[in-house]
Structure 1
């Protein structure tokens, strides 16, 4: 049983559930919408986890908003929003970089603590058998659990992502603080953190359902979450359309092709007279004279640079989030179909 989710057979007392429905109906008449029935039951069972997540999100948002105001106070001295040169000299990057590093861990932490106990706790304690003996179908029970958990996760992740994006936005167009195509910026802004967190949580739910042991499922979910982050780090840059530019002015100083502001460079290579590419390290000779001889022998005439422009960031994030959400929907469908016949 997970202390965080409050799993236990007492939570599924049919009399308590009916009383909850009655209270909900009575209050609905005088005070508006209230949870009742299965919704009330699921919230009651996992209220500790849900409230903890909501409270942590509220505190995080407050901290991010405060840090944003601190940054704006500094940037105002340099003419924000039209920043003048020199603002980077005394700009403190540490708060934004530290926040990006910590927020990048949240999908893993939330997935491990919230996902596995959702079903594994009920299966381990025998609560699922009690639910199965009631009039409510397994599908409705599973859908309610997944739906309410997804709602809480989406609300919290969206709020934190919006606050971080707002904080970062004044300096987002420069790579001085965070590189937009790397984890610190890309995975903590826009829709990506919401999709990553949902996929990790639902993956944990499926693992807990299959293993039926909460602690074991949490350990396996940790491995799943780390593996997901590693795979995602390779997928991230493949979401963009790579642009290649070349130059034919040699390879001395100021000979590389010009790139758009804040472009993310994927690869650089020497361009030969025949149009072939060779690695820029292939002529890393000990002396300048030897390097020049190597370049002449290879008939190097310029550079070839592969990059992704900053303008593609939003489309890359939505494409990546769509893929992650599609995987999440697939896992949710698997949990419902499997649980419909084999849960108990």
Structure 2
């Protein structure tokens, strides 16, 4: 890019002021140009994030006041559960789940498609800055904005949910409203969706169609992720041999997600928990016929949540890196 001629600032006595005396740290060159080009969108994201974080901080303070007044944390959850407002957690978690889609459609898709459509990319190709550096700067600044915003929301939502996270009736930890909005997952999902949108925009070279296709891509990513989420953990099994009554069901760790439960016979064979009902037998007769001696329960403990999140995020980060490499390879060969 051509450099702008700068006139040195002067003091009131007519002497020239040094740059350090009149200017603080600020963006310059290509970084300044990219920021200025997209500053409206970036500042909008920062402003919305700040408002959301402030609201979440307020909600956490209100939650602590409500449940403390009803006996938390010394009493059973039944006594203070109403003050936790479970519906509010579910609605907010559901709304936050749309953030990767929104960022992919409105930030990722038009990031390059807009420049390719209106001719800005051709202008860049005529300057001293290489297309690869232009691409790198665009992606780096956009990625930094996405990381800052989603990480701030992740921390704020996690702190709000933290005091009641062990109570499944407030918000199940394995549900997308909790799992996808805390830890590194929201950052990883948003980055992958945004970079995917950038790649789509580079290929289609039209903003509107790129946004439509990116929307479909982002929805598919969310659906696949929700299907694979529980596969990130290591399913544990607990068995008992004290009969099949409800009072003999094994005691599970707090916050445990039960994947499957079945009866176990004396020979070690398992039968579905609805076996007796399916055969229309009383429990006593069913127990004798199938030699049922206890329960076999497959479950995921809440203690695996963090490791599952980082494992899933690492997969998404790897996919993001692969798409980024594709963008640079494609950009080196043909960007205009």
Larger deviation: 31-40 or 79-88? 79-88
Secondary structure class of the residue paired with 1:88? helix
Q: Name the CA distance, whole Å, in 2 between partners of 1:96 and 1:27.
A: 51
Number of aligned residue pairs: give it.
326
Residue 142 of structure 1 corresponds to 135
What do the CA deviations read for 1:157-177 (whole angstroms, capped 9, x no partner)?
011111101111110122120
1:78 aligns with 2:63: no
RMSD over equivalenced CA pairs, Å: 2.1
What aligned pairs does 1:1-344 form with structure 2 within 5 A after superposition? Answer: 18-19=3-4, 30-85=22-77, 86-285=79-278, 289=282, 292-344=284-336
Q: Name the CA distance, whole Å, in 2 between partners of 1:54 and 1:133.
A: 33
What do the CA deviations read for 1:113-135 (whole angstroms, capped 9, x no partner)?
11110011111112111111111
Distance 1:249 1:39, change over 3 A: same
Q: Name the CA distance, whole Å, in 2 between partners of 1:330 and 1:27.
A: 42
Once the two structures are TM-superposed, the CA of residue 20 in structure 1 deviates from its matched residue by 9.0
> TM-score, length-normalised on structure 1?
0.89
Q: Name the CA distance, whole Å, in 1 between partners of 2:62 and 2:75.
A: 16
What do the CA deviations read for 1:109-154 (whole angstroms, capped 9, x no partner)?
1111111100111111121111111110011000000000000000
Gaps of 5+ in 1: 1-13
Secondary structure class of the residue paired with 2:246? coil
What do the CA deviations read for 1:15-45 (whole angstroms, capped 9, x no partner)?
6xx339999xx86663322111110111111
Once the two structures are TM-superposed, the CA of residue 287 in structure 1 deviates from its matched residue by 5.2
Q: Name the CA distance, whole Å, in 2 between partners of 1:286 and 1:77.
A: 50
Residue 7 of structure 1 corresponds to none
Q: Name the CA distance, whole Å, in 2 between partners of 1:211 and 1:142.
A: 16
What do the CA deviations read for 1:43-91 (whole angstroms, capped 9, x no partner)?
1111111111111101111111111111111122134444555112454
Q: Name the CA distance, whole Å, in 1 between partners of 2:50 and 2:19.
A: 27
